[in-house]
Amino acid sequence: MIEELWIYPPLASARMGSSPTPCGNFTWGPSDTSPGGTGKTTLVPLESLELDADGQTRAVRAGDELIFKDRDADGTWRFRPVCPYFELHGRWNVAGDVEEGPITPAVLAKFDLTTADVRWTIKLANLKAYQFTLDDADRVECMLELQGDTTARVALEAISPSGEPPRRLIPGGLSIPVGSVQLSKPTAEFPELRMRFHPPTGLVYGPSDLLERIAAHPQPGEWRAFDLPDRLILNPDAAWPNYVFGELLGSPAILDDFRKTPRGIHATFPGVRSQSLGLVDEVTDGIIICKIGDVQGRARVAVGPPDFAPDRRHPVSMQDGLADRVDRATIRAGLPMDELEELVRDIFERALETSDAMNKDTELDRLHGGRDAQERLRRANGDRDQPAVATIWPTRDEVASTAHRADALPVSFAGRRKHKRYVAVEYLRDRLREDPALLEKWIRRPRDGFQDFDRRMPPLMRGSHGGPMNVTQRQYEMLTAWVAALRTEGLIG
């Protein structure tokens, strides 16, 4: 009997793109640490798998270059979507002989089964509007079931399946495309059972009376010339197009939790009590289930925007977040010095790559324009004994250094120069000898995310809660464990 099923990978990210050609497979290569190098990660092409219209799998050899965008005849650039595969694995028992590996037609035949006995289900949802209104009619969901021998590509259409029909965000009979899926047809060369997920292109939809709402609003602001040709299909009587931010129309516990409802990312008219425009995008998260009889495996897929800088790694990755939840014990148990130092080096390499990918001066201006900016600056400038690390950098319009007044992007320039030095762990050791409390002062603690923005690292990036971003608890303990190991070995004071 088949005892257990699982899907590999258990979690994958799909990235939207309007090009019909999926992005090729690649991996991160070694960092360019030559004397004249960038210090950043390189990209290495890998062999890719492609499915034809009938689900036949073919291997595409890695070329000498990676292509992330295609250009139309009219000059329009289109990102290639990232379309992940999900492969079915399992463990089975034949007369006491237990094996595990990919599920193939040969494995199914051991139990008088075929691919027709395999059932795939994908469930997707976009609950952004629902998180605010808490109205079931604002839920945007999609569910599709496929028999394992259905190998043609099938579109995924999202609807509003819940709540009172007159208030449903997507009216009955209409839908929003949220991608497509295709099952592979097993062959002698590629016998594994796979599902490939194709994300949508990234379009936005609005209520059918959106243009009238904009024209009638006394302060339309930037929306004055806005239009969504052929995509104004949503119900204007649903809760989401009539939602007013700042009013507690739902649960205060949810509305006050900025991890679920971060500020400044929703389309609204200007004003403190701003009304939602009622826009909905094609972005979803989903669950993939595969069943054989009563045994099933599950995986998750998350849809996101294109990666505009694939060779720039984030200081806090998805892997960091997951490891922080399940594997702090490895760091606390102690790691060899060389392994610990390599992990620390990797953190600072990612800091350099992220620093180079963002305009820090623009982010600084955004922070100075925040609602609490004047109070923050008043406290910082009023306390002359307060360390510099506890203040944000001044803008060019305030009392600033000569570099701030002369350089077009002074914060970006200074950040790039300093981060490039810290990629060299030897330099970081020298700085720690000069100031053993360096990392403790300059790295933001994980529980300090709701404090004011200041110069602690990472300095100008927002977390999902709307406050300053911080490294994970596991990363912070990794850094402090390295400093403690240096002190134990007498390398710093």
Q: What is the pLDDT of residues 15-53, one digit of tens each?
A: 999 999 999 999 988 877 666 666 678 899 999 999 999
Position 331, amino acid: I
Give the pLDDT score at 387: 42
Q: What is the C-alpha separation between 379 and 396, in angstroms, rounded?
A: 19
Nearest-CA neighbor of 296 among 287, 309, 307? 287
Six token digits for residue 154: 């099938």
Q: Provide the percentage of residues in the chain whose pLDDT is more than 70.
A: 86
Query: Is residue 62 in some structural domain?
Result: yes
> Is the pLDDT at 255 greater than 80, yes or no?
no
Q: What is the C-alpha separation between 480 and 438, in angstroms, rounded?
A: 11
Residue numbers of the domain that contains 188: 2-119+142-150+177-199+289-303
Q: pTM of this prediction?
A: 0.88
Query: Is residue 158 in some structural domain?
Result: no
Q: What is the mean pLDDT of the chain?
A: 87
Nearest-CA neighbor of 140 among 321, 236, 282? 282
Judgement on whether residues 12 and 53 belong to the same structural domain of the protein: yes
Average pLDDT, stretch 338-356? Answer: 90
Average pLDDT, stretch 308-313? Answer: 88
Nearest-CA neighbor of 14 among 396, 404, 282? 282
Judgement on whether residues 293 and 373 belong to the same structural domain of the protein: no
Confidence band for 270, pLDDT divided at 50, 70 and 90:
confident
Task: Identify whether the C-beta of residue 448 lies closer than 8 Å to the C-beta of residue 384.
Answer: no
**Cα separations in angstroms, 436 against 313, 409, 439, 440, 441:** 28, 31, 8, 9, 10
Judgement on whether residues 297 and 400 belong to the same structural domain of the protein: no
> Is the pLDDT at 388 greater than 50, yes or no?
no
Average pLDDT, stretch 446-473? Answer: 81
Query: Is residue 77 in some structural domain?
Result: yes
Nearest-CA neighbor of 283 among 129, 135, 132? 129
Average pLDDT, stretch 390-415? Answer: 69
Return the SS3 of 493.
coil
Query: Is residue 24 in some structural domain?
Result: yes
Query: Is residue 374 in some structural domain?
Result: yes
Judgement on whether residues 440 and 466 belong to the same structural domain of the protein: yes
Average pLDDT, stretch 268-275? Answer: 77
Six token digits for residue 45: 């092409």
Which of 116-130, 312-326, 459-473 has the weakest average pLDDT?
459-473
> Is the pLDDT at 142 greater than 80, yes or no?
yes
Confidence band for 232, pLDDT divided at 50, 70 and 90:
very high
Judgement on whether residues 352 and 412 belong to the same structural domain of the protein: yes
Query: Is residue 186 in some structural domain?
Result: yes
Query: Is residue 269 in some structural domain?
Result: no
User: What's the structural domain count of the chain?
Assistant: 2
Average pLDDT, stretch 414-432? Answer: 87
Which among 303, 336, 351 is the end of a domain?
A: 303
Which among 279, 303, 327 is the end of a domain?
A: 303
Judgement on whether residues 296 and 391 belong to the same structural domain of the protein: no
Judgement on whether residues 298 and 326 belong to the same structural domain of the protein: no
Give the pLDDT score at 167: 96
Query: Is residue 393 in some structural domain?
Result: yes
Return the SS3 of 385.
coil
Judgement on whether residues 293 and 331 belong to the same structural domain of the protein: no
Average pLDDT, stretch 91-96? Answer: 93
Judgement on whether residues 357 and 479 belong to the same structural domain of the protein: yes
Average pLDDT, stretch 343-356? Answer: 89
Judgement on whether residues 409 and 297 belong to the same structural domain of the protein: no
Average pLDDT, stretch 164-192? Answer: 97
Position 163, amino acid: G
Which among 303, 333, 363 is the end of a domain?
A: 303
Give the pLDDT score at 421: 86
Judgement on whether residues 10 and 94 belong to the same structural domain of the protein: yes
Judgement on whether residues 323 and 299 belong to the same structural domain of the protein: no
Confidence band for 398, pLDDT divided at 50, 70 and 90:
low
Sequence-distant (6+) residues with CB within 8 A of 466 are: 258, 262, 263, 264
Confidence band for 253, pLDDT divided at 50, 70 and 90:
very low
Which of 90-104, 160-174, 373-387 has the weakest average pLDDT?
373-387
The distance of Cα 459 from the centroid of its chain, to the nearest Å, equals: 19
Q: 350 — phi, psi (to 5°)?
A: -65, -35
Task: Identify whether the C-beta of residue 15 lies closer than 8 Å to the C-beta of residue 82.
Answer: yes
